[in-house]
């Protein structure tokens, strides 16, 4: 069903209904699953929530890679808890997407065959333990910057999922920053490793906020429908302004020679990411795109016996119940 919706660009909604809907949005009403909504609102929510959920699940792969390599039992336990949290975040978001009439299997199928995206950041490798610190500090830090406003998104189930998710994200960011503090204040080798992680994750973290506002195809409509509360560039700027002092405290150098405080703007001027790299990664040409999709396809195939067993059990239970009626 969703596949047809993706095709239908037309939003031949009744103008009166559309006006009444926009009045609800402007009054900061929460839109609930059984409420009337424009086809385009439903379609862009399935797109955004579905890709958000995919990001949570695929995001487990780069960190999961280090659970068996964590330097101490304590670090292993912390990382294990964080990666498990991300699975739960994916679950909340798939449940929110299902309220819009798409099934989890449809969403999974579109992830696995490349018709739906996940966040570009997860197509970069985690090469050292310091990368796990940089992921928590920068990636979860960027995710928090983007997700906190989403708690006020106009679609009820998405807003409530975000409120639950945001409660756990600060732990994710703090544990990452704690790793970076240990490394940046450790031996010369550890400091070097932390700076290397900073160098490799800085620009991909800026890309998480999406293309520049002038390139963003969905922002205008998503802002009008209060699906999105801030623009991509607004959140990117907030992230840079928050992160620069944190890097300074660590004694790490942000890999951007143009970075400078702009008194008039009340924020940092900074170099934009390489957008050709961004769009190349979105096209599937990032360092880890193939690995990530292969891992998710393998997990889907390996899990077939569990799904079949559960379905068979449910069908048997239904048959017994019908026979007893
Ligand atoms: N990675 C992959 N695709 C991206 C992207 C990124 N970093 N940024 C933008 N895109 C895609 C969009 O999905 C859109 O493509 P589509 O039409 O095929 O969906 C296209 O680029 C144009 O971008 P727009 O700015 O027009 O799209 P949006 O208005 O949807 O804005 C967004 C992009 C800011 C990511 C928005 O979708 C959003 O806020 N999503 C919810 C938050 C989210 O998904 N975060 C991802 C990270 S979750 C995470 O990190 C988990 C944490 O626990 C570690």
Ligand 1 lined by 289 (C-beta under 6 Å): no
pLDDT, tens digit (0-9, with 9 covering 90-100), for 38-86:
999 999 999 999 999 999 999 999 999 999 999 999 999 999 999 999 9
DSSP letter for each residue of 62-89: HHHTTTTT-SSHHHHHHHHHHHHHHHHH
Ligand 1 lined by 176 (C-beta under 6 Å): no
pLDDT, tens digit (0-9, with 9 covering 90-100), for 143-181:
999 999 999 999 999 999 999 999 999 999 999 999 999
Ligand 1 atom, smallest distance to 208 CA: 7
Provide the CA 175 distance to its chain's centre, in angstroms. 18
Q: How far is the CA of 207 from the centre of ligand 1 (A)?
A: 9
Ligand 1 atom, smallest distance to 120 CA: 1
Contact by Cβ (8 Å): 118, 55: yes
Contact by Cβ (8 Å): 116, 49: no
Pairing of strands 260-262, 267-269: antiparallel
Contact by Cβ (8 Å): 85, 172: yes
Q: How far is the CA of 322 from the centre of ligand 1 (A)?
A: 45
Tens digits of pLDDT across the chain (325 residues) = 444 433 333 467 888 999 999 999 999 999 999 999 999 999 999 999 999 999 999 999 999 999 999 999 999 999 999 999 999 999 999 999 999 999 999 999 999 999 999 999 999 999 999 999 999 999 999 999 999 999 999 999 999 999 999 999 999 999 999 999 999 999 999 999 999 999 999 999 999 999 999 999 999 999 999 999 999 999 999 999 999 999 999 999 999 999 999 999 999 999 999 999 999 999 999 999 999 999 999 999 999 999 999 999 999 999 999 998 8
**In this predicted structure, what is the pLDDT of residue 11?**
63
Ligand 1 lined by 128 (C-beta under 6 Å): no
DSSP-based three-state secondary structure for 113? coil
Nearest CA to 102 out of 92, 113, 94 is that of 94
Q: How far is the CA of 286 from the centre of ligand 1 (A)?
A: 16
Spatial separation of the C-alpha atoms in residues 177 and 73, rounded to whole Å: 18
C-alpha angle 234-170-261 in degrees, rounded to nearest 5: 40
Spatial separation of the C-alpha atoms in residues 319 and 325, rounded to whole Å: 10
């Amino acid at each position: 069903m969703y596949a047809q919706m993706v095709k239908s660009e037309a939003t031949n909604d009744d103008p009166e209904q559309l006006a009444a809907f926009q009045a609800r949005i402007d009054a900061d009403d929460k839109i609930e699953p059984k409420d009337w909504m424009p086809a385009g609102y439903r379609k862009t929510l399935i797109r955004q929530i579905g890709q958000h959920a995919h990001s949570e699940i695929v995001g487990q792969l780069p960190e999961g890679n280090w659970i068996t390599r964590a330097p101490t039992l304590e670090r292993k336990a912390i990382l294990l808890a964080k990666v498990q949290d991300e699975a739960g975040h994916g679950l909340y978001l798939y449940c929110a997407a299902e309220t819009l009439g798409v099934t989890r299997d449809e969403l999974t199928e579109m992830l696995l065959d490349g018709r739906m995206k996940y966040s570009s950041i997860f197509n970069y490798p985690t090469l050292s333990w310091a990368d796990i610190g940089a992921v928590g500090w920068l990636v979860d830090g960027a995710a928090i910057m983007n997700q906190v406003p989403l708690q006020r998104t106009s679609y009820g189930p998405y807003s409530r999922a975000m409120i639950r998710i945001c409660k756990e994200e600060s732990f994710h960011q703090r544990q990452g920053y704690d790793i970076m503090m240990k490394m940046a204040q450790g031996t010369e080798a550890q400091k070097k490793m932390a700076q290397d992680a900073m160098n490799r994750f800085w620009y991909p973290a800026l890309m998480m906020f999406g293309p520049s506002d002038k390139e963003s195809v969905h922002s205008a409509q998503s802002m009008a429908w209060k699906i999105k509360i801030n623009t991509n560039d607004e959140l990117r700027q907030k992230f840079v302004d928050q992160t620069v002092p944190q890097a300074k405290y660590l004694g790490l150098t942000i890999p951007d020679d143009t970075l400078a405080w702009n008194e008039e703007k009340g924020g940092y001027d900074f170099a934009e990411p390489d957008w050709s790299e961004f769009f190349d990664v979105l096209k599937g040409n990032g360092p880890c795109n193939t690995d990530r999709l292969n891992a998710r396809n393998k997990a889907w195939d390996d899990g077939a016996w569990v799904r079949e067993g559960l379905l068979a059990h449910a069908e048997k239970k239904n048959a017994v119940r019908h026979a007893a009626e």
